[in-house]
């Protein structure tokens, strides 16, 4: 990546620069194909493709683009579609391998003619119309299917990897231009009445896979009452988003490596717009990756955690046995679909089953902790710390972070992280511990979903103790609220109030473990 940036900066010819970028994209395919494969063959991805396939193309009504698309055009899409059509690759790379025999002879005549006549005009918003909408829809679905199939072939290929890489590269290149185009935004708006969020149940998984023809259908969600929305962290949707935006986000996610390369290249290359100044010197970039933590690890039994916590703060109206018995009572009735999913997981734990800890490290806190502590770490200490020795220089494909002036480990002097998405509550807390409530390394926000995360292995004991203290405080508060609720409930039922309080009470307990009231514990 460093080499790429340095060289890209030196190329002044705009076409050579494009070629240089496109060739680097082939390297990305070779390096990141596993992640790309996982993303496109995930059950939810197959669901998104299936749902796009449900669109009744003859009923499509093209609409005018919204004002948020003002800066978008179809120029790059037109260029690649014309090139692939002229070279016969539209048929051999997209339409034939996509697995829809009815499109085998599809030549996208209207689309090609429109691109040819209007790509240099200013009226790109008119390109998506009643003549082109059906062909565009077929192009989109066929590209997604061919891309997924090419990645599946590459995943299992022992021979012919070179050819398979090339196919992924071509299909991915086309998909990237579709994802960046004005047409896709107009099209998804026109499709909205047929779109929905994929739902994880056995019947759906089979229909999804039947449609895509990918080698497997992804996992059946063991939590069968969850509509399947929560278990895809990359596509977390709560139902409030516009469906065309959800689909756009999902399509962009499939080609995020390519889109990021585009952004980096545009930022550091001499821009085509002469009024925008690229930095004089390419920024120095180092890419770090930390090996996956060794998981799963057995967790401390929850009764022990509870006992230790409550013994630390004596003098309460309830003992740890009271709390334990109450929790067991709450989780023992059969799981109801209106309860939070954690109740389902908790039942096993309440019956003495061991719970394992499975987590990954999160980039923002790994980098932040390096920025914070690397100044004080001597060479001898680095050598003695297997966690630090294992910091490898490879492509990071989970999130794109750039540290200003991160030239080497000992020379981090600007503590700003640019994170492409909001961080999780655990990282948010750790960032505050590392840098202070108001700074947090410039990370702009967090989402409310708590997920298992492995803290940086080199975190000093002091920071670790602060983290534990902070989360103990939250747990203590939650237990207190729960026990107060129980007491109120007890008083109400014993004074002869109606039974409806029972169900409301238990439902509320369920709500509280949701991330929704996390705001109370900010910092």
CB of 254 to Zn ion, least distance (A): 23
Cα–Cα distances in angstroms (integers) from residue 288 to residues 21, 402, 505, in the given order: 22, 10, 48
- Interface mask toward Zn ion for 433-462; x: CB under 5 A: --------------------x---------
If the CB atoms of residues 60 and 424 are measured against Zn ion, the closer one turns out to be 424
The region of 183-191, 311-319, 328-336, 426-434 touching Zn ion under the rule CB under 5 A is: 426-434
Q: Identify whether the C-beta of residue 341 lies closer than 8 Å to the C-beta of residue 223.
A: yes
For residues 10 and 17, give the distance between their C-alpha atoms in angstroms, rounded to a whole number. Answer: 9
CB of 361 to Zn ion, least distance (A): 9
Q: Which two tokens stand for residue 45?
A: 């991805």
If the CB atoms of residues 98 and 430 are measured against Zn ion, the closer one turns out to be 430
Using the rule CB under 5 A, is 255 a contact of Zn ion?
no
* Number of residues in contact with Zn ion under rule CB under 5 A: 5
Q: Identify whether the C-beta of residue 369 lies closer than 8 Å to the C-beta of residue 459.
A: yes
For residues 411 and 409, give the distance between their C-alpha atoms in angstroms, rounded to a whole number. Answer: 6
Give the nearest residue (CB) to Zn ion.
Answer: 427
Q: Identify whether the C-beta of residue 325 lies closer than 8 Å to the C-beta of residue 331.
A: no
Q: Which of 427, 431, 433, 479 binds Zn ion (CB under 5 A)?
A: 427
If the CB atoms of residues 350 and 417 are measured against Zn ion, the closer one turns out to be 417
The region of 80-88, 260-268, 416-424, 463-471 touching Zn ion under the rule CB under 5 A is: 416-424
If the CB atoms of residues 175 and 431 are measured against Zn ion, the closer one turns out to be 431
Q: Would you call 255 helix, strand, or coil by DSSP?
A: coil
CB of 34 to Zn ion, least distance (A): 22
For residues 449 and 234, give the distance between their C-alpha atoms in angstroms, rounded to a whole number. Answer: 12
The region of 32-40, 105-113, 204-212, 357-365 touching Zn ion under the rule CB under 5 A is: 357-365
Q: Identify whether the C-beta of residue 339 lies closer than 8 Å to the C-beta of residue 510.
A: yes
Q: Would you call 326 helix, strand, or coil by DSSP?
A: helix
The region of 17-25, 29-37, 306-314, 356-364 touching Zn ion under the rule CB under 5 A is: 356-364
If the CB atoms of residues 448 and 505 are measured against Zn ion, the closer one turns out to be 448
Nearest to 173 by CA among 157, 193, 150, 196: 150
Q: Which of 367, 424, 430, 443 binds Zn ion (CB under 5 A)?
A: 424
For residues 140 and 157, give the distance between their C-alpha atoms in angstroms, rounded to a whole number. Answer: 25
Q: What share of the chain is helix, strand, coil (3-state, %, to 5)?
A: 60, 5, 40
Q: What are phi and psi of 76, to 5 degrees?
A: -65, -35
Q: Which of 9, 138, 149, 362 binds Zn ion (CB under 5 A)?
A: 362
**What is the length of the chain?**
523
For residues 428 and 463, give the distance between their C-alpha atoms in angstroms, rounded to a whole number. Answer: 14
If the CB atoms of residues 185 and 440 are measured against Zn ion, the closer one turns out to be 440
Nearest to 179 by CA among 105, 281, 77, 79: 77
In the region spanning residues 117 to 146, those forming contacts with Zn ion, defined by CB under 5 A, are none
Do the bridges between strand 453-454 and strand 360-361 make them parallel or antiparallel, or are there none, so unpaired? parallel
Q: Which two tokens stand for residue 146?
A: 């061919």
If the CB atoms of residues 306 and 463 are measured against Zn ion, the closer one turns out to be 463
If the CB atoms of residues 32 and 359 are measured against Zn ion, the closer one turns out to be 359
The region of 332-340, 359-367, 405-413, 504-512 touching Zn ion under the rule CB under 5 A is: 359-367
CB of 363 to Zn ion, least distance (A): 8
For residues 123 and 135, give the distance between their C-alpha atoms in angstroms, rounded to a whole number. Answer: 19
CB of 231 to Zn ion, least distance (A): 17
The region of 215-223, 264-272, 299-307, 418-426 touching Zn ion under the rule CB under 5 A is: 418-426
The region of 2-10, 273-281, 358-366, 408-416 touching Zn ion under the rule CB under 5 A is: 358-366
For residues 339 and 511, give the distance between their C-alpha atoms in angstroms, rounded to a whole number. Answer: 8
CB of 222 to Zn ion, least distance (A): 24
CB of 451 to Zn ion, least distance (A): 7
If the CB atoms of residues 82 and 452 are measured against Zn ion, the closer one turns out to be 452
Which residues bind to Zn ion, rule: CB under 5 A?
Answer: 362, 423-424, 427, 453
């Amino acid at each position: 990546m460093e080499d790429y940036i340095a060289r890209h900066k030196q190329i002044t010819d705009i076409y050579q620069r494009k070629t240089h970028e496109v060739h680097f994209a082939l390297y990305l395919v070779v390096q990141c194909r596993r992640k790309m494969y996982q993303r496109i063959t995930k059950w939810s991805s197959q669901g998104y493709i299936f749902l796009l396939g449900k669109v009744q193309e003859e009923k499509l009504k093209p609409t005018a683009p919204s004002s948020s698309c003002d800066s978008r055009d179809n120029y790059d899409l037109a260029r690649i579609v014309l090139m692939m059509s002229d070279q016969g690759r539209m048929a051999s790379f997209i339409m034939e391998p996509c697995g829809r025999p009815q499109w085998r002879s599809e030549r996208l005549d209207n689309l090609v003619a429109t691109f040819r006549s209007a790509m240099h005009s200013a009226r790109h918003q008119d390109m998506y119309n009643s003549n082109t909408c059906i062909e565009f829809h077929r192009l989109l679905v066929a590209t997604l299917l061919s891309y997924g199939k090419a990645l599946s072939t590459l995943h299992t290929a022992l021979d012919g990897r070179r050819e398979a890489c090339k196919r992924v590269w071509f299909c991915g290149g086309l998909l990237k231009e579709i994802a960046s185009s004005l047409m896709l935004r107009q099209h998804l708006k026109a499709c909205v009445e047929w779109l929905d969020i994929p739902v994880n149940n056995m019947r759906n998984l089979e229909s999804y896979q039947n449609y895509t023809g990918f080698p497997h259908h992804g996992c059946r969600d063991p939590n069968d009452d969850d509509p399947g929305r929560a278990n895809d962290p990359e596509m977390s949707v709560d139902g409030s988003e516009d469906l065309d935006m959800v689909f756009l986000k999902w399509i962009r996610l499939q080609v995020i490596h390519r889109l990021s390369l585009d952004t980096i290249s545009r930022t550091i290359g001499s821009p085509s717009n002469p009024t925008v100044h690229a930095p004089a010197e390419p920024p120095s970039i180092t890419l770090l990756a930390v090996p996956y933590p060794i998981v799963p690890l057995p967790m401390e039994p929850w009764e022990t955690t509870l006992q230790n916590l409550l013994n630390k703060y004596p003098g309460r109206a309830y003992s740890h046995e009271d709390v334990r018995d109450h929790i067991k009572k709450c989780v023992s009735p059969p799981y109801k679909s209106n309860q939070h999913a954690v109740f389902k997981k908790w039942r096993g734990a309440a019956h003495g089953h061991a719970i394992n800890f499975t987590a990954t490290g999160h980039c923002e806190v790994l980098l932040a902790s390096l920025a914070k502590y690397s100044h004080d770490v001597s060479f001898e200490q680095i050598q003695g710390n297997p966690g630090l020795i294992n910091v490898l220089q490879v492509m990071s494909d989970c999130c794109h972070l750039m540290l200003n002036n991160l030239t080497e480990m000992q020379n981090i002097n600007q503590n700003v992280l640019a994170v492409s998405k909001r961080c999780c509550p655990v990282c948010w807390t750790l960032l505050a511990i590392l840098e202070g409530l108001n700074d947090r390394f410039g990370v702009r926000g967090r989402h409310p979903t708590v997920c298992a995360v492995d803290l940086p292995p080199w975190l000093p004991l002091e920071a670790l103790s602060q983290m534990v203290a902070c989360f103990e405080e939250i747990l203590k508060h939650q237990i207190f609220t729960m026990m107060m609720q129980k007491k109120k409930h007890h008083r109400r039922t014993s004074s002869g109030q109606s039974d409806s309080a029972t169900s409301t009470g238990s439902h509320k307990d369920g709500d509280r473990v949701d991330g929704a009231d996390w705001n109370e514990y900010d910092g």
